[in-house]
Chain A
């Protein structure tokens, strides 16, 4: 059985790493390069660098930041998200040092470009990001830029079914940045869609929540953001708490 992964998330806004809470409250953290270096030392399986304001500002991916991180010599695979809108963007992001890309706006606005990127670089290089909400049993996909629900078109569903993207980053928008726990009801709602393997993100802070997620057959990994910054060696502590789960064993960090 393939081991499941622990992904450390660094959220960047205005060039600064931040804690994001509910997509509308942001607390400063510091230099994203140092945060990424730290997650690398701590032994995250992958690091997701999400630059959440690049699309809305219309400035494209933060190539400088990807390059700086690549030059820092991290050994952990780097997933980059933010401002990817074309094959050329993707090519340049990979050239700068990203190992995989996560896309969100492109899925809604230009889903065909996903096919072009996957054709050139392979499906394993692509992750589709979907913020979702589950409120009073009503489930919807959530556009965090316009802060409104949207429907998955048939075109998008086909792309997902045909595994044009290798994984889906499913974000529990209601619990994003909070310590309430990822709502497992979301996974039940998406089962029928036969999505690619899922990375769960949003409220993933407590070991009980992590264990429940890692036990779920559709989950390939858990993505953790804000809470990794609250204490030393967070990932080691998480691995210890999850030692019965199918994850990589404790990493001897430096």
Chain B
């Protein structure tokens, strides 16, 4: 652990799974690229975006101008808002059924398509395949979320090829926002390489099939990426709006709550209330697995984000991370029930993926956390002031809805209808 270098501005270490470089001044690549948010001419960049999308507008008005991947959370509202109201585009929304759906997420998604008056396509992969895939990815590399990310990132491309709609609009590029992988001026677009390397942790669908796994091609073909020749023949491009718009997720969520009645909820593992409200597992089991494997979790991402936006100090961020990151994940019984495993089996699997660099054995089978947050500052003192002072609207955003009505927590199945 002593060999990990930390950025002196934010909370990231150089073992970040996306890759992080730290310069001679001790500042990380993510913070350096974040500086562009306050130095670039965003009016100019917006005009570039307008020029870019103009070539994709349908002349007849009888086809979609672009595809927008959406869910009941995240940046979906803001992306559709920019596309429809600011760029004047006619988008086709596409969404992938994650299976871990909250009622709040379903509500937000329904509200999205009705408020913005958009057509939408749903991808529902059969539950048997999804569960088989989840067992395989959980066992092989400790991910319960592979199918979600694989589906969310491939379905839009498949639709683009099938329906011959070349332009896909994404929000922010995760590599840019977190670790400064590219400059905004590089105008990086969606690539299969990035998807395989980072989104899918090095495993495309084809890589899951082996003589030693329970998966066959019949279980994973829905996640196959289209051939390059098909993508090239249509001219499919995935453009990140974050390269042309000063991206600020918290500010954007505040706007979407205000204008379009996006709903948020409280989480026990982070102070953010707007991200991932559509999923029982993202901020819970999936996040806890991230902590196990990488020594940090989503609260560190959220705190780093707010430090970079100048709304909290690094000390505030450390205090928030230490306050939240070891809270137990919730809704584990739901997951066990869905995947048909028992709680002991789940706990066993989680322990298998506790990285020895970040977990120290205390007693037989018991490990204590020794991750990033243990090493941020010597002589750290908890700040006296209100850590949320720089986030005045955060409190007004939280708790305006629960993720399930009447506390009855269960995964909501798409298309089941009324029971």
Contacts and interface: CB of A to CB of B under 8 A. Distances in A.
B23 A25 contact: yes
Interface in A7-29: 13, 16-19, 24-29
Given A27-B21, A28-B21, A232 B231 contact: yes
Contact of B228 (A25, A27, A29, A253): A253
A30 B231 contact: no
B50 interface: no
Given A34-B196, A229-B193, A28 B18 contact: yes
A233 B236 CA distance: 10
Contacts of B18: 28, 30
Nearest to A16: B19
B344 interface: no
B333 interface: no
B252 to A, nearest CB: 25
A27 B229 contact: no
A248 interface: no
A35 interface: yes
B193 A28 contact: no
Nearest to B186: A230
Contacts of B33: 27
B315 to A, nearest CB: 26
Interface in A159-189: none
A38 B193 contact: yes
A226 B186 CA distance: 10
B202 to A, nearest CB: 7
Given A34-B202, A230-B182, A231-B237, A26 B229 contact: no
A252 interface: yes
A208 interface: no
A233 B231 contact: yes
Interface residues of B, number: 36
Interface string A188-220: 000000000000000000000000000000000
A66 B33 CA distance: 31
B157 to A, nearest CB: 10
B55 to A, nearest CB: 15
B140 interface: no
Interface string B228-267: 1101100011100000000000000000000000000000
A94 B21 CA distance: 30
Interface string A27-69: 1111100110010011000000000000000000000000000
A252 B229 contact: yes
B181 A27 contact: yes
A229 B192 contact: no
B115 interface: no
A35 B50 CA distance: 31
A254 interface: yes
A34 B29 CA distance: 21
Contact of A232 (B183, B186, B189, B197): B189
A254 B225 CA distance: 11
Contact of A28 (B19, B183, B202): B19
Nearest to B20: A28
Contacts of A13: 21
A236 interface: yes
B228 A230 contact: no
A230 B181 CA distance: 11
Contacts of A31: 197, 202
Nearest to A15: B19
B197 A30 contact: yes
B395 interface: no
Interface of B: 18-21, 23-24, 29, 32-33, 175, 179-183, 186-194, 196-198, 202, 227-229, 231-232, 236-238
14 contacts: A25-B23, A26-B29, A27-B183, A28-B29, A29-B19, A30-B193, A30-B194, A30-B197, A230-B182, A232-B191, A232-B238, A233-B232, A252-B229, A253-B228
Interface of A: 13, 16-19, 24-31, 34-35, 38, 41-42, 226-227, 229-233, 236, 252-254
Given A27-B181, A27-B183, A227-B186, 8 more contacts: A25-B32, A30-B194, A38-B192, A229-B188, A230-B188, A232-B237, A236-B228, A254-B227
